[in-house]
Amino acid sequence: MNKEGSVIANNNPFLGRILREPYLCTSKDFHVVRDRWPVIDGHYLLFTKSQIPSLADADVDILVEFINGYLIVQLGEEYILIERGRALSCTSFEVVHAHAHLIPVCYSGVINERLRSLRSYKFESLKSALSSIEKGKSYLLWGELRGSVELSYEVKNLPKRFVRSVIEGGIDSRENKGGNK
């Protein structure tokens, strides 16, 4: 960990822990690691190296380049990204820091089913969705890395660790119904 990383990590328990995890993929702006408590095989976290509250606050062009140029190549398959941006209660540490969950695309149907009650806006790409997010506003973003993405601002009353519970419930629902929806 470099000097800048150690300064940020000392002020942010989320980063302090996660910066020590082995990287699956990294750049000067982003890291991807295996989730420390994965719900399924192939459950990863994408996070920023700098202290910002959401992926929408990052340079969207650099993020999309990282995803298309490095992450998708490294993963070797299609993935879904789910982020609860600018939300204080998304981690156990009560820290706002940009991070998103990545899970295999085969779970997209059940994830969409679990989130269908939220009023959302649909976008053709991750870049267009991130670019349209209102400054300073909390949001939930989900969709395929190279496909359509949905965005909802109905996040005020969502429980702590909501994204993880959606993934866990989605996986349970898929397995209990014996296959893809």
Banded pLDDT at 93 (limits 50, 70, 90): low
Return the domain boundaries, the chain: 3-176
Model's pTM, two decimal places? 0.81
pLDDT digits (tens, 9 = 90+) for 103-135: 999 988 888 888 988 999 999 999 999 999 999
Closest by alpha carbon to 117, among 82, 79, 91, 150? Answer: 150
Sequence-ordered list of residues with C-beta below 8 angstroms from that of 50, at least 6 positions apart, any chain: 8, 29, 58
Most confident by average pLDDT, 22-26, 50-54, 81-85: 81-85
**Two structure tokens written together for 180:** 């893809």
CATH architecture of 3-176: 2-Layer Sandwich (3.30)
| DSSP string for residues in the chain | --HHHHHHHHH-HHHHHHTTSPEEEE-SSEEEEE-SS-SSTT-EEEEESS--S-GGGS-HHHHHHHIIIIIHHHH-S-EEEEEEET-GGGSTT-----EEEEEEGGGHHHHHHHHTTS--EEESSHHHHHHHSPTT--EEEEEETTS-EEEE---TTPPTTHHHHHHHHHHHHHHHTTS--
> Percent of the chain beyond pLDDT 90?
40
pLDDT digits (tens, 9 = 90+) for 152-180: 999 888 887 788 888 887 554 444 333 33
pLDDT digits (tens, 9 = 90+) for 131-156: 999 998 999 999 999 999 999 999 88
Banded pLDDT at 39 (limits 50, 70, 90): confident
Q: For 57, list phi and psi in degrees, rounded to 5.
A: -90, -5
